Amino acid sequence: MGDDVTMVNLSHVGLRAGATTLVRDVSLEVAPATWCTIIGPNGAGKTSLVSALAGLRTLSSGHVTIDGQRLDRLNERARARVVAYVAQHPEIPPGMSVHEYVSLGRIAFHGVMRPPSAADRAIVDGVLERLELANFRHRAGTSLSGGERQRMVLARALAQSTKVLVLDEPISGLDVRHQMDLLELLKKEVSECGLTVIATLHDLTLASLFTDRLVLLDHGDVVLDGAAHDVIQSAEMQRSYGVALRVVSIEGGDVVVPVRHVHP
């Protein structure tokens, strides 16, 4: 894949915590306007890798480049203009309204000491409309339901107007309908707005349904990297998860079902 079609580039990225290796020599290229999901068993290094992708961890080796800019050479404000990050358990400040929370996504542009411009306010209003949050703009963020709160967190990230969005388990704790709603929103941003999405997901079926590409991580190593259908169908995936899995095709989509072995 040439640099002219690369939005995100990880070059020999390594991460350590003391003597423990979290991620080992990972190199990936992600094209613009695509959705890449990192999967793998617990402890595989997924959260460590996506936090490095967002420039939130100091690398032990290698570097991350987004839209031609090395993250380790950018200050926090400049980095926030390049990549937006949604943590698995984001903190919602008590008493802050939905509008105020989403507006935090514009601070990288107008700064802490200056008020938002008309353009900043228009971007926030547009995101609130797009994610059907306009009616909640004056509500306290902490008063929202789980699905509404996740949309609000996503809205803040989209208000940053970056080309790349990194999410760590964005549907964790949501019921099935709200999971589908959020993933459909993300898919729409990829297809209609040209956003590049890199996410981690535990649900293998949803990962295969919404993702262009899957990267299978295990013990800090990339085991497999390819089209979602190919990775889901692979023997490598079953070995990494250490469980028998059956993949069933329903209306053209792959559904992953764990197989229970009943001993007599």
Contact 257, 246 (CB under 8 A): yes
Task: Give the domain ranges of the chain.
Answer: 1-82+162-264, 89-161
Secondary structure of residue 13 in the 3-state scheme = strand
pLDDT score at 89:
87
Mean pLDDT, residues 61-73: 95
Taking the C-alpha atoms of residue 252 and residue 261, their distance in angstroms, rounded to an integer, is 27
Q: Which residues contact 131 (CB under 8 A, 6 or more apart)?
A: 151, 152, 154, 155, 158, 185
Contact 79, 120 (CB under 8 A): no
For the chain, give the percent of residues with pLDDT over 90.
85
Per CATH, the number for 1-82+162-264 is: 3.40.50.300
Mean pLDDT, residues 241-258: 90
Element (H, E) at 9: strand 8-17
**Confidence band, pLDDT 50/70/90 cuts, at residue 2:** very low
Q: Measured between alpha carbons, how far is residue 253 from residues 204, 205, 229, 247, 257 in Å?
A: 12, 8, 9, 10, 13
Handedness of CA 40, 245, 213, 230 (dihedral sign): positive
